[in-house]
């Protein structure tokens, strides 16, 4: 199927209904049916269960429990770097923020203000900064970890549509990451200043969750929501889990100007693994 036809189908599909249905199926404890679904999924997408903390497929009570499975201890050692990759996945795009524009794919850009839900003051902190868009495919480990130490400052839920975020859709749907449902997490690093991690929703992504809040979007509404944590001491260390997707998606990270020099081996579409070298602070 051509990219153009795939994108057209994205516009025509009843994305909200499909996502609601998929969320119910994924959360159901269906016994043998759940086990068969997981077996089918692992075979179709080539999921490596040898890396899972619990490799026994029949022991998972629901598809969500399987999909958000933890890795076994020591599976992802952290690189000796200032910033480590926060997920298993593939690089969509990364690099410098052009004034306030982020590259989505060739011919498509969106603004930092659009990404964070219209907060111009927050977006202004990352003018001429750096960004990284990382795509999590169905076979990947779907927990999100910290690229560096950070203290949580704010979380913003931004409602939106639910296009797929696979590479074909990224190439064909303008403003994809700034129009999909998303959760914007704002951190303050003691060494590198503010940075943002955005969890992007997508078709059949049942929900997104963080370790401090739990599921952020149990009931989808058209209203944005915001939480502030300045009076709390929520500090997460480099490599610690910060959230997870219930079915797959993309994360977008924002860093201030002169904060990160990305790994020289990084390139669009290249696979990455949690804990690998993402970059270092410029000398």
d(CA 5, CA 7): 5
DSSP assignment string, 125-140: TTTT-EEEEEEPPTTS
Active site residue: 82, 88, 119, 140, which one? 88
Token pair listed for 43? 């075979």
Question: In terms of Cα–Cα distance, which of 173, 163, 156 is closest to 250?
Answer: 163
Active site residue: 100, 130, 145, 207, which one? 145
Alpha-carbon dihedral sign for residues 239, 243, 246, 247:
negative
Annotated catalytic residue 108: no
Whose tokens are 């490599």? That residue is 239
Active site residue: 164, 189, 207, 249, which one? 249
List the beta strands (DSSP E) in 136-181.
Answer: 143-145, 150-158
Question: In terms of Cα–Cα distance, which of 259, 269, 265, 283 is closest to 126?
Answer: 259
Annotated catalytic residue 88: yes
DSSP assignment string, 42-71: HHHHT--GGGBS---GGG-SSHHHHHTPPB
Annotated catalytic residue 249: yes
Show which residues are catalytic.
88, 145, 249
């Amino acid at each position: 199927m051509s990219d153009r036809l795939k994108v057209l189908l994205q516009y025509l599909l009843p994305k909200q209904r499909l996502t609601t249905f998929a969320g119910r199926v994924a959360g159901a404890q269906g016994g043998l049916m759940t086990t068969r679904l997981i077996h089918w999924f692992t075979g179709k997408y080539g999921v490596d269960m040898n890396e899972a903390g619990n490799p026994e497929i029949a022991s998972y009570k629901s598809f969500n429990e399987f999909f958000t499975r933890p890795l076994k201890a020591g599976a992802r050692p952290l690189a000796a770097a200032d910033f480590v990759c926060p997920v298993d996945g593939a690089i969509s795009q990364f690099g410098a923020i052009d004034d306030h524009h982020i590259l989505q794919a060739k011919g498509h850009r969106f603004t930092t203000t659009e990404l964070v839900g219209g907060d111009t003051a927050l977006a202004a902190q990352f003018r001429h900064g750096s960004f990284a868009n990382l795509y999590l495919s169905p076979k990947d480990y779907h927990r999100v970890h910290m690229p560096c130490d950070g203290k949580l400052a704010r979380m913003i839920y931004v409602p939106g549509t639910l296009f797929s975020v696979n590479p074909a859709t990224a190439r064909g749907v303008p403003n994809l990451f700034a129009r999909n449902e998303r959760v914007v997490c704002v951190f303050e690093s003691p060494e590198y200043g503010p940075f943002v991690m955005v969890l992007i929703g997508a078709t059949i992504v049942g929900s997104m969750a963080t370790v401090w809040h739990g599921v952020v979007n149990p009931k989808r509404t058209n209203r944005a929501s915001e939480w502030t944590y300045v009076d709390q001491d929520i500090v997460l260390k480099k490599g610690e889990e910060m959230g997870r997707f219930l079915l797959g998606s993309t994360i977008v990270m924002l860093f201030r100007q002169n904060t990160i020099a990305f790994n020289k081996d990084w390139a669009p579409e290249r696979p990455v693994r949690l804990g690998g070298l993402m970059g270092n602070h410029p000398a």
